Amino acid sequence: MTTYLSTADLAAHLGIAEQTVRHWRHRGHGPRYHRIGGPRSRVIYDPAEVERWLAEREAGSTSEESARNQVAAAGSEG
């Protein structure tokens, strides 16, 4: 069985504040998640999904990252 990550676990794993994870989730920028229960209940993250999400953001240079961000921004304008 998979051991899921809480918001606090994910923040610690990434070395960021829990509020940043919550902000990403609210804006749709973070890894996919599961909500257990009602609208204000617990959120959990599948570690495999977190790794997939991180791999999508891997860059070899800042210019590669900038180009990827420009493509993403152009796609969201349409």
Write down the mean pLDDT value for the chain: 90
| Percentage of the chain exceeding pLDDT 90 | 63
Q: pLDDT tens-digit profile of 8-45?
A: 999 999 999 999 999 999 999 999 999 998 888 899 99
16 or 72, which is more confident?
16
35 or 63, which is more confident?
35
Distances (CA, A) of 20 to 14, 15, 36, 61: 10, 10, 20, 24
State the residue for tokens 């921004």: 73
52 or 77, which is more confident?
52
